[in-house]
Amino acid sequence: MNKQEYMKKLQERLESFGKELQEEIMEDYRQHFAEGENEGKSEEEIIEELGNIEEMIRELSEDELPEGFAQRALEPAAVEGQEVTGTQEDTEKFEETEMKRAFSYSGYYKAVVLEGKVADVYVTESENDQIHVDYEAKGVNSQQNYEYYQYEEDGTFYAGVKRKKSIREEGDSDEKMVKVTLFGRTIISYGTIGNVWNSGQSITLTVRIPKGMPKLTAKVGSGNVSVSGVELEALEATSGSGNVGLNDIVADRLKAHTGSGNIAAAHTEFISGALEAGSGNVKAEGVKGRELRCGTGSGNIKGEASVGEYHLASGSGNIKMKAGGNAERINMSTGSGSIKLELEGIQGMDTTVRTGSGGVRIAWNEEEGQKVKNGNYTYGNGACKIKANTGSGSVKIFGRE
């Protein structure tokens, strides 16, 4: 490969990241070539030095995802930071135990904010106008190290799980403990710290919120979040490394994030919905609304939806979408995965497709097997604007009026 070919490939692979970024990285590479040539290096030497473009793209994909994915993915699971745990005696005392508590709260709140840390958080609708919380902790660690809290401020209801202040922080100096964190992660912990958060340990927070609650925010570190059967103005569900599940929800604004877990939304209606995973898969089934955004670093995006605008982006995964009646605009891009789109009940489409090395196939109203190349294609009245972009995967688009 010579410089020209290399730069062309670079340009193509950067296409999906937007013009500005593309030009910036291209300029860095051009500068690198100029400097290298100036030192008397050959094109081949410089290309070898710059290395595999895919490797650079991978690096870039980690950062160029919506709203700081990398941080979230990095967010250490809360259990990793455990400092001091009980003595053997305590352990026996708590073994196999299960603690359950139930709380009810009355009053009008404009928002509910839940922070679960290691806990799994479930939210559903309350049968009356009270907020009900069931807190359940199983096993020794969960009871010794975490506790439930609740408070309210400014008309907002806060509840969650927090770490207990260690009772044995002092007087343990003779015990050998090492805890090392690096780049935000616990790399090493031994001694009496880092007691295993084994399978018997779990904390569950089940919250029932009144009908008509305007806003819900649920955030966990290593736990999962599941929200179902609620109607809200705004919903935000976030997990560091767990999964986020949304079912049977109506919300004007809906946001779901996870660092390394998966996201699944089913039977959900919204005006704008954003489902963003760092490395997991994103699934949207039976979703309706005005605008749907799905993003993942390396996972797949799969769904069946009926929305006006689709924005689907994956770093390296596949995209598979079944789009219903009122679609106007569909943007799909993946670094190296394949794209498959099925359109139902649309008057026509105006399509721009691009793939680095995969095949392209567009079929409209059962006219099967049209093999096309990168470029722009219009069918029917062109009502739906579609852009499909992949680095190396294939693109398949099927449509029916």
Partner 1 sequence: MNTQFKKGALELCVLSQLVWGDKYGYELTEKISGEMSIASGTLYPILRKLKADDYVTTYLVESESGPARKYYKLTEKGKQYQTSVKQEWETFINAVNQLLLG
Using CB under 8 A as the criterion, which residues of the chain lie in contact with partner 1 when the complex forms? 21, 24-25, 27-32, 34-38, 49-53, 55-56, 58-60, 62-63, 73-74, 178, 180-183, 185, 187-188
Q: Where are the alpha helices (DSSP H) in 18-79?
A: 19-38, 43-50, 53-63, 69-74
Q: To the nearest whole angstrom, how small is the minimum distance from the Cβ of residue 90 to partner 1?
A: 28
Cα separation, 305 vs 215, whole angstroms: 24
Q: Where are the alpha helices (DSSP H) in 218-292?
A: none
Cα separation, 386 vs 331, whole angstroms: 6
Cα separation, 348 vs 329, whole angstroms: 12
Q: Are 215 and 112 in contact (CB under 8 A)?
A: yes
Cα separation, 303 vs 285, whole angstroms: 5
Of residues 7 and 250, the one with the C-beta less far from partner 1: 7
Cα separation, 251 vs 237, whole angstroms: 12
Q: To the nearest whole angstrom, how small is the minimum distance from the Cβ of residue 262 to partner 1?
A: 19
Of residues 303 and 335, the one with the C-beta less far from partner 1: 335
Q: To the nearest whole angstrom, how small is the minimum distance from the Cβ of residue 242 to partner 1?
A: 18
Q: To the nearest whole angstrom, how small is the minimum distance from the Cβ of residue 214 to partner 1?
A: 33
Q: To the nearest whole angstrom, how small is the minimum distance from the Cβ of residue 72 to partner 1?
A: 12
Of residues 51 and 369, the one with the C-beta less far from partner 1: 51
Q: Are 330 and 384 in contact (CB under 8 A)?
A: yes
Of residues 60 and 250, the one with the C-beta less far from partner 1: 60
Q: What values do phi and psi take at 300, rounded to 5?
A: -100, 155
* Cα torsion angle, 67, 71, 72, 73, sign: positive
Of the candidates 296, 125, 31, the residue with the CA atom closest to the CA atom of residue 284: 296
Of residues 195 and 279, the one with the C-beta less far from partner 1: 279
Q: To the nearest whole angstrom, how small is the minimum distance from the Cβ of residue 180 to partner 1?
A: 5
Of residues 26 and 271, the one with the C-beta less far from partner 1: 26
